[in-house]
Structure 1
Amino acid sequence: MILKKQIKTHDAFFKNLFAKREEAKHFLEKTIPPEFLKKLDMVSLRLDTTNYVSNELNKFFADVVYDCDYFTNEKKEKIKISLVFEHKSYVENFIHLQLLKYLISIWDLQIKQAKDKKLKMKTFHLRPVILIFFIMVKQIGRKKILKNISNLWTKI
């Protein structure tokens, strides 16, 4: 019971901090590489209150998502910036699959909303997602995470 309460406290802190637009903006400006940051219209940064964390992933993740305009060579496009907090104290072997499920839940909702609006699916494009992932592990766990991720696929 104490662990659940601790997780909810961490989730609440994470969500309350990054749901504040100015805090999120400041963090993103310090985190995103400058060459990419200059393509983002940070004035357009808007909190997306949709819950993208599925019931399956809810016990592991909390998220705060923003919509933002992104300048490409041709035009301005919408992207999502997702801050995901993992509240496990151990390193998951297949965390990349959990993150992929999370991304798919965002894109599935985009497809559903496009169909509901009767948009032409041939011309519809999924929004890119910048995913920034926070994990609660000790410093020694950081190297283990990188090692685990690099060993996930068979070398060809």
Structure 2
Amino acid sequence: MSNPHDAFFKSLFSDPAELINLLRDLLHPEVVRQLDLNALQPLPTEVVRESLNLGLSDLRFSVPWRAGGHLALRLLLEHQSTVDPTMPLRALRYIMDVWSTTPRPDHKLPVALTLIIFHGPRPWSAARALSELYDAPPEALPFLTPHLPELCLHLIDLGERDEDAVPGQGAGKLGLMLMRNAHDENLWRTLDRRVELWQEGYIERGPSTMTTTLRYIYEVTDPELPPELKTKLTAIVHPKDKEALMTAAERLRQEGRLEGRQEGRQEGRLEGRQEGELGAKREFTLKVLSRRFGPLPEAVAQQVMSADLATLERLTDELFTAPSLDALMAGDV
């Protein structure tokens, strides 16, 4: 996995029960009534991952309709921690892949749906519809769009929701809360505040799922489990699981300390690598700005080539919502 968010997300929602809870909250009630969610089946992702640019945490499923006589719905569950300006196009590619590879009696097309869970440090700022990506004179587009594909993303920006409005139940809901807050607070505070969800997850999913939750917190926040919270968690756990779970917590804490020491020894090598990655990011930003706005003034090119990572991320995040190059560079979006 490329980062702890990927591993955590996949571990949570590879469990059909957690995914079903999520879908009940995210899909329209009539769609939920028509789907046989209990017959949901996972599908392999390896075959299509490279061609569709799927992430390591992306999950595919088949869900039949209760009525029968219809092709099963195909679902792609995507996790995004960064804004992708081409997300509507990626969703369309997934649909086209489903349509081109699924047997179609009577020439009918199965419904293919992409659900995107986003938890970036800032709100989603890129296109949410395929029509926003069309590049043509604005005067002509209204007459063309009836004849062009349209697709509106089913995108859930966790940062736009209050904690209580985060979808799911138990371990899944707690996991999405932790991912939502990972950019802004020590996650032990989130767990302490919602310890009832940890208890619900432990009862329904068992100790292994909750150990995964602890691992995620150790990987993205301070590696010290507060003693008061440890007491609360210990009181929840069944005696037969207590020693194993707390031993796992201590092992994760020690791993966090070891990683910290290793990072210190590797800092010099990492700085060189990060500098190279920053240079590549600057070159990429120049390329996408040129595609969006045409040839760039020399002053703008110099500004991009001296920008830090946060500025480069802002430029790419706001690329398709900026009315002009000047507004984008000035941050007036």
Task: Specify whether residues 127 and 147 from structure 1 end up closer, same or farther in structure 2 by C-alpha distance, changes over 3 A only.
Answer: closer
Name 2:50's counterpart in structure 1: 54
The structure 1 residue matched to 2:92, chosen from 77, 100, 107, is 100
Structure 2 contact 35–65 (Cα < 8 Å) conserved: yes
Spell out the pairing of 1:1-156 with structure 2 (5 A cutoff): 5-6=2-3, 9-51=4-46, 52-55=48-51, 57-58=53-54, 60=55, 62-71=57-66, 75-87=69-81, 89=82, 91-110=83-102, 114=103, 123-139=106-122, 141-142=123-124, 144-145=125-126, 151-153=132-134, 154=138, 155-156=141-142
Q: Which of 144-153 and 9-18 deviates more?
A: 144-153
Task: Specify whether residues 61 and 124 from structure 1 end up closer, same or farther in structure 2 by C-alpha distance, changes over 3 A only.
Answer: farther
Name 1:117's counterpart in structure 2: none
Query: Partner of 2:64: helix, strand, or coil?
Result: strand
1:124 offset after TM fit, Å?
4.2
The separation in 2 between residues aligned to 1:16 and 1:126, in whole angstroms, is 31
- 1:123-151 per-residue CA deviation (whole Å, 9 max, x = no partner) reads 34332112111234234x23x23578674
Query: Partner of 2:53: helix, strand, or coil?
Result: helix
Q: Which of 125-134 and 99-108 deviates more?
A: 99-108
Structure 2 stretches lacking a partner, 5+ long:
143-333
Structure 2 contact 88–129 (Cα < 8 Å) conserved: no
Structure 1 contact 61–86 (Cα < 8 Å) conserved: no
After TM superposition, the score normalised by the length of structure 1 is: 0.68
Question: What value does the CA root-mean-square deviation take over the aligned residues?
Answer: 3.0
Give the length in aligned residue pairs.
136
User: What letter matches 2:53 in structure 1?
Assistant: L
1:38 offset after TM fit, Å?
0.7
The separation in 2 between residues aligned to 1:61 and 1:134, in whole angstroms, is 14
Structure 1 contact 53–102 (Cα < 8 Å) conserved: no
Task: Specify whether residues 108 and 66 from structure 1 end up closer, same or farther in structure 2 by C-alpha distance, changes over 3 A only.
Answer: same
Structure 1 stretches lacking a partner, 5+ long:
115-120
The separation in 2 between residues aligned to 1:56 and 1:68, in whole angstroms, is 21
Q: Which of 97-106 and 32-41 deviates more?
A: 97-106
Q: Which has the higher contact order (CA 8 A, sep 6+)?
A: 1
The separation in 2 between residues aligned to 1:125 and 1:81, in whole angstroms, is 17
The separation in 2 between residues aligned to 1:147 and 1:98, in whole angstroms, is 11
Task: Specify whether residues 56 and 125 from structure 1 end up closer, same or farther in structure 2 by C-alpha distance, changes over 3 A only.
Answer: closer
- 1:13-38 per-residue CA deviation (whole Å, 9 max, x = no partner) reads 22211110101111111111112111
The separation in 2 between residues aligned to 1:11 and 1:108, in whole angstroms, is 28
Structure 2 contact 89–130 (Cα < 8 Å) conserved: no
1:99 offset after TM fit, Å?
1.9
After TM superposition, the score normalised by the length of structure 2 is: 0.35
Higher helix share: 2
Structure 1 contact 85–135 (Cα < 8 Å) conserved: yes
The separation in 1 between residues aligned to 2:108 and 2:8, in whole angstroms, is 34
Task: Specify whether residues 17 and 147 from structure 1 end up closer, same or farther in structure 2 by C-alpha distance, changes over 3 A only.
Answer: closer
User: What letter matches 1:95 in structure 2?
Assistant: M
The separation in 2 between residues aligned to 1:14 and 1:125, in whole angstroms, is 33
1:102 offset after TM fit, Å?
2.5
User: What letter matches 2:110 in structure 1?
Assistant: R
Structure 2 contact 52–94 (Cα < 8 Å) conserved: no
